[in-house]
Amino acid sequence: MAWAVLQPLAGAVVFTMVFDRIANLPSDGIPYPVFAFVGVTVWTYFTTSVQTAMSSLVGNVGLVTKVYFPRMAAPMAAVVPGLLDMGISLLILTVLMAVYGVTPGLALLALPLCVVVLVALAFGVGLVLATLNVRYRDVKGVSSLLLQLWLFASPVAYAGSVIDDRWPLLYALNPMAGLIDAFRWSLLGGPAPDVSSLASLVVLVAVLVAGIAVFAREERRFADII
* DSSP output for 98-159: HHHT----GGGGGHHHHHHHHHHHHHHHHHHHHHHHHH-TTHHHHHHHHHHHHHHHTTTSS-
| Whether residue 133 has pLDDT greater than 90 | no
pLDDT at residue 21 is higher than 70: no
Average pLDDT score, the chain = 85
Domain limits at 148?
2-225
Q: How confident is the model at residue 114 (pLDDT cuts 50, 70, 90)?
A: very high
* pLDDT tens per residue, range 37-91: 999 999 999 999 999 999 888 876 766 666 676 778 888 999 999 999 999 999 9
Total tally of structural domains belonging to the chain: 1
| Residue range 190-214: mean pLDDT, rounded | 87
Residue pair 85/45 in contact by the 8 Å Cβ criterion: yes
Q: Per-residue confidence at 197, pLDDT binned at 50, 70, 90?
A: confident
